């Protein structure tokens, strides 16, 4: 498996978390998009999506649901 890197801008750290989200204006309710996050950016990315009403969950990268992406 390829190394999973954090999705935060200019971050090259290994991701430990998957930030699952869905934009209800353009995605079906069951669809889950994924941003990867290192320990440092987990809260920031989660808060960014939560403020916009798009955060679904934050899970360990080993728990990314099949079909998410």
Tell me which DSSP letter residue 13 carries: S
What whole-number distance in Å separates Cα of residue 37 and Cα of residue 34? 10
53 Cβ partners below 8 Å, 6+ apart? Answer: 24
What whole-number distance in Å separates Cα of residue 25 and Cα of residue 16? 28
24 Cβ partners below 8 Å, 6+ apart? Answer: 53, 54
What whole-number distance in Å separates Cα of residue 5 and Cα of residue 25? 27
Residue pLDDT tens, the chain, 69 long: 579 999 999 999 999 999 999 999 999 989 999 999 999 999 999 999 999 999 999 999 999 999 898
What is the pLDDT at residue 2? Answer: 72
What is the pLDDT at residue 1? Answer: 56
């Amino acid at each position: 498996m390829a190394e999973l890197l954090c999705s935060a801008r200019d971050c090259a750290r290994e991701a430990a978390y998957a930030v699952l989200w869905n934009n209800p204006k353009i995605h079906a309710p069951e669809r889950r998009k994924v941003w990867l996050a290192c320990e440092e950016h987990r809260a920031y990315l989660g808060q960014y999506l939560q403020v916009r009403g798009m955060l679904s969950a934050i899970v360990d990268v080993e728990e990314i649901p099949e079909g998410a992406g």
